[in-house]
Structure 1
Amino acid sequence: MTARTFLDLLYEQAPREEFERLVVDAEQRGDPAAARLREMLPRALHVRDTLERQRKREAQLSALYETANDLTAIRDLNQILRAIVRRARQLLGTDIAYLGLNVESEGAAYIRVTEGSVSDAFANLRLPLGTGLLGLVAQTGQPYATPDYHADDRFEHRPYIDEAVADESIRAILGVPMTVSGRVIGALLAANRTPRPFPAEEVQLLSSFAAHAAIALENARLFEQVMQTNKRLREHSAAVEMAADVHDKLTGVLLRGGDSNDVAGVLSEALDAKVEVCEPDDPQIPAESVHEARATGHAVQLTGGQWIAAATAGGDHLATLLVNGRPGLDLAEQRTLERGAMVTALLRMVLRAVAEAEDRVRADLLDDLLAEPPADPALLRVRALRHGVRVDEPMVLAVVDVGDADRTRAQREA
């Protein structure tokens, strides 16, 4: 009967007061079993407390498993940081939870994310490794807990750290390390605004969660790296495709005997900007920038969202390509502009060669027209007609002294 009654209380998960009341009631009734009940009470309470701890542990492990499971599904780095502190606060039922990450190059830990915090100074705190509770955990890789941080002289207190902690009204803090492959990457902390101890099971619970969280955080970081790498590969692939397309179009301009305006059209479409082909001495382009473009063979950025590339051949400056309305050209786009400048130079060289050949033919025709005795009149008449000259009509001969000017350009202008 007595054992069954205690079993009933254990089955009902009754509070400790119910066990004490059962014994007191038996003693007041003068129950002969009261002495035996009093004797069995400590054992019954021990069993009750053991079962309660076991149930609490099972609930904590279940929550830990669900939490760790949820973290594995998150890929965004910022989202997983927020999820970690939110779940840590829920697991321990504290007022605040926060997470700090180490920056090894600076020898410090930064608070990256908080849950339940109201102070900007605290949320943006930077702690040199070894200082405060967070800095000590981040440096040693060991868990630390204090029921009242401000009164605990185990930690290296610094005024600005203590002021930030006081600004948040924090008293009790539990901090555990976050490690990946034996390397401490930061610390996870839970805190209360009133003094309280953190029993061993809570330290173990938060430590277990931090271990899962560190792996999930590292996986998210690696996933983000993979995504960034894939993005760069896609961008590179798109740049290669654009370069190939521009190359084909510029080659087409050469093969069909196009001119500089055709090159400008291809580049304008590829760069999504207005591209002009300017003469070498165009006053709208700074001379020093042209000199740099000629010297380096690369595109040069001007002010006002402009770029230039020099079209040169054999040391001769034949033209300058000017891009308007593009403050930023990436490396692939700069190479595209430079390739366009090379094609422009080639077209200008071809036109120059054609013009020089024409000039030689015209010079020979002029010599024959002025020769004495005259050449074959019938053949001379046919040759002249090819150049729009009618030898049977009156003609005027003009002689111009160009001095030191560019003879080829003067002939072309004439």
Structure 2
Amino acid sequence: MDEASNRHFRAPEDTEILNATTESSRDLASVRDRTLILKGILRRTRTLLDADMAYLSLNDLPSGETYIHVTDNVQTEAYRNIRMPLGTGVLGAVAAGGSTASTLDYLADPNMNHIPTIDQVVAAEGVKAIAGAPLRVGGRIVGALLVAHRTPASLPPAGERALEHMAAQAAIALEQTRRGSEITQLRALIGSTTTSNEGRTRELQAMLALDERLMGSMVASVNAEGVVAVLEEATGRPLGLFDPTGRHRFGSVTLTKSAFENWGVQSAINTSLHGAGAATGRHKGEVYTVVAVAAGKEHLATLVMNGTAGKEIALLERGSVFVSAALLFERTLVDANNRAQSTLMEDLLASRTEDQAQAVRARFVTFGLELRNDTAVLVILVDPPVRHSALATVQQRLRRGPMLVSTHIGHICVVTTSSGEALAREMDQILHQEGIRAVIGHATSTSGSISGIREAHDEASEVVTAAKELGWRRGFAELNDLGIAGIMLSHDSASTAARIVERSLGPVRDYDRAHRTELLGTLWSYLESGSSLQRTSSQLHIHQNTVRQRLERIDSLLGAQWRTPSRRIDVHFALRLWKLAPPTSKQGAVQGL
């Protein structure tokens, strides 16, 4: 197929996603007919993505199928009545697998799990491209939201974000519909059967009342903090919201960050994340109930409540849907507010002609940046789940004059006329205080040109790459800090460094491990001090004879030829690789040198 002839699902602007989400939230708070709400969500989803059709399915777990429940602009009755086995096609895969999926041309896609009878229905409808996002309620996947084109089309990242936003809104509406139907059915039974139905009705009515409070908090100001506050009050238990790394965000501090590294807590979170709803975990003898908050395939946050949940389980699972919608809204709001900076950052690092450079230079002035000065560029690498939190932290807490701050191709980028080293140190401390581990590379352009800033960005990126290859999980550096070893690793891999260390220093390292000695550290100090026994002994606070004895032991392990000029360079380089590696990767050699 000619790729150039393919159309694309539309990539909506962040403001459009925000508007569609806000309109859906208002409907949820004011419109009683849930079918109208679902149709409104489908219509807005179609508009956002410029799709030919949209539809929503519900899972029927006893039959192992998901069936289309509501549609918008589907032409054939057969398509409207599709029942898809879970795990098949795009619809069944999304409804079962819990992650967003898409296909350029469904019938021609060999990677799809096809069913001949369904393929006939798809062909009759004229559908080519399909994309879908799962509907989650309390960690459980209850269905899917899909859009389709009648011509081949691909799904851009902005389209995927929009689909996940609208799926979160649809999940709320679906659960409200289900509860309303159950209340109606139970009311019909009251009086003719047992009084247990009355209790269940009261529970459902209380749940709908909670829905109204949660919806009200979102309409008033769509933020996760307000939703968590309402949910904590409703459960009557300490309840906290934590990001995927365990950093506390809102509510009560029910667990410490270190507790999230505990196997029992992680196991409970993973259980909830993979579709089991609320799960119970233990830490230091205490019991906790957790509900993973997710959107598509992404783990957004975790709700943690003290104790074992009974009737609170339904409240937690219900509330998690609202938390997911609020977190997505907050993220998109941040993205919209950052759009001017991110666009300028992209243009800055992509500009190649003089005309482009001059245009970027003029826009720089609006952020108070003058390119006549030295310009520092910092590349900040954090784990993807906390990238938005890290960006917000950097923007809110840095107070070092004019700067440009934005996400850029998997990392956070900062351009400033302040000192790069001082800023990197401050950012490292700030992020660490927030429980975020970051590797930061910095470089400075002195040319006062756009191309110079681009080169500084490339250099800072190389520093981060090298540091990650060396096993760093936190810290900051410039290229000079890593030296030749850093330059090599920015273009190579950690396995190469490990082989160099093994071949040049393996026997000494093994001896240190076996005897708890400090031969590698002594050798490092000796070569760094210009092979001076006096300076080495002074630096290590040991006698010169002790240094001499250790060097003789190294002679016996490596052979005396390591002292020759050519071999000495190899050994010194291997030592630098060893020294740059984090302590945990040195595996047993005594540190503190």
Q: Fold-level match, TM-score > 0.5?
A: no
TM-score of the aligned structures, taking structure 1 as reference length: 0.42
TM-score of the aligned structures, taking structure 2 as reference length: 0.30
